[in-house]
Amino acid sequence: MSLHRIESCNDIVLEKQDGRITTVEEDTTDKGDTNNNGTVNILDAWDALSMSVRLIAEDLNADMDNSGRVTAEDARLILVMAIQ
Protein backbone atom coordinates (compact mmCIF):
# COMPACT_ATOMS: atom_id res chain seq x y z
CA MET A 1 0.00 0.00 0.00
CA SER A 2 1.29 3.45 -0.80
CA LEU A 3 -0.05 6.94 -0.27
CA HIS A 4 0.36 9.72 -2.79
CA ARG A 5 -0.49 13.36 -2.28
CA ILE A 6 -1.58 15.67 -5.10
CA GLU A 7 -1.01 19.38 -4.41
CA SER A 8 -3.79 21.00 -6.46
CA CYS A 9 -7.15 22.51 -5.56
CA ASN A 10 -7.85 20.62 -2.38
CA ASP A 11 -5.32 18.07 -1.25
CA ILE A 12 -6.39 14.57 -2.22
CA VAL A 13 -4.95 11.45 -0.70
CA LEU A 14 -4.88 8.41 -2.98
CA GLU A 15 -4.39 4.87 -1.85
CA LYS A 16 -3.25 2.09 -4.16
CA GLN A 17 -4.01 -1.45 -3.10
CA ASP A 18 -4.42 -4.61 -5.15
CA GLY A 19 -4.08 -2.66 -8.39
CA ARG A 20 -6.91 -0.27 -7.51
CA ILE A 21 -6.64 3.39 -6.66
CA THR A 22 -9.16 4.91 -4.28
CA THR A 23 -9.44 8.31 -2.66
CA VAL A 24 -9.10 8.47 1.09
CA GLU A 25 -10.64 11.28 3.08
CA GLU A 26 -7.99 12.92 5.20
CA ASP A 27 -9.01 13.56 8.78
CA THR A 28 -8.11 17.12 9.67
CA THR A 29 -9.77 17.06 13.09
CA ASP A 30 -7.39 17.44 16.01
CA LYS A 31 -7.23 14.36 18.21
CA GLY A 32 -9.45 15.00 21.22
CA ASP A 33 -11.53 17.73 19.57
CA THR A 34 -14.83 15.88 19.87
CA ASN A 35 -17.05 18.79 18.88
CA ASN A 36 -14.87 19.78 15.90
CA ASN A 37 -14.65 23.45 16.88
CA GLY A 38 -10.92 23.63 16.22
CA THR A 39 -9.78 23.61 19.83
CA VAL A 40 -9.50 21.02 22.58
CA ASN A 41 -11.27 22.27 25.70
CA ILE A 42 -13.14 21.10 28.78
CA LEU A 43 -16.28 20.40 26.73
CA ASP A 44 -14.34 17.79 24.75
CA ALA A 45 -13.29 16.14 28.02
CA TRP A 46 -16.93 16.14 29.13
CA ASP A 47 -17.95 14.54 25.82
CA ALA A 48 -15.28 11.86 26.22
CA LEU A 49 -16.42 11.11 29.75
CA SER A 50 -20.02 10.87 28.51
CA MET A 51 -18.86 8.50 25.76
CA SER A 52 -17.05 6.33 28.29
CA VAL A 53 -20.31 5.63 30.14
CA ARG A 54 -22.30 5.36 26.90
CA LEU A 55 -24.42 8.48 27.41
CA ILE A 56 -23.54 9.64 23.90
CA ALA A 57 -22.25 7.84 20.82
CA GLU A 58 -18.57 6.96 20.88
CA ASP A 59 -16.25 8.98 18.64
CA LEU A 60 -12.85 7.36 18.34
CA ASN A 61 -11.33 10.80 17.83
CA ALA A 62 -11.56 10.94 21.63
CA ASP A 63 -9.60 7.68 21.99
CA MET A 64 -6.40 9.38 23.13
CA ASP A 65 -4.54 6.23 24.15
CA ASN A 66 -5.51 4.31 20.98
CA SER A 67 -7.11 1.48 22.96
CA GLY A 68 -9.95 1.15 20.46
CA ARG A 69 -12.56 2.60 22.81
CA VAL A 70 -13.22 5.81 24.71
CA THR A 71 -12.63 5.51 28.45
CA ALA A 72 -12.41 7.80 31.48
CA GLU A 73 -8.63 7.80 30.95
CA ASP A 74 -9.16 9.37 27.53
CA ALA A 75 -11.34 12.05 29.16
CA ARG A 76 -8.55 12.73 31.66
CA LEU A 77 -5.96 13.02 28.87
CA ILE A 78 -8.20 15.45 26.97
CA LEU A 79 -8.71 17.51 30.14
CA VAL A 80 -4.94 17.72 30.63
CA MET A 81 -4.59 18.94 27.03
CA ALA A 82 -7.35 21.49 27.55
CA ILE A 83 -5.78 23.12 30.60
CA GLN A 84 -2.25 23.38 29.21
Q: Over its length of 84 residues, how does the chain's per-residue pLDDT go in tens digits? A: 444 444 444 555 666 667 776 665 555 578 999 999 999 999 999 999 999 999 999 999 999 999 999 999 999 999 999 999
Please check whether residue 47 is in contact with residue 41, taking contact to mean a CB–CB distance below 8 angstroms. Answer: no
Other beta carbons within 10 Å of 45: 23
CATH 1.10.1330.10 is held by the domain 2-83: yes
pLDDT confidence of residue 23: 62
Report domain extents, the chain.
Answer: 2-83
Q: Name the burial class of residue 31, with classes exposed (0-12), middle (13-18) and buried (19+) by CB atoms within 10 angstroms of its CB.
A: middle
Containing 22, the helix (H) or strand (E) segment is strand 20-24
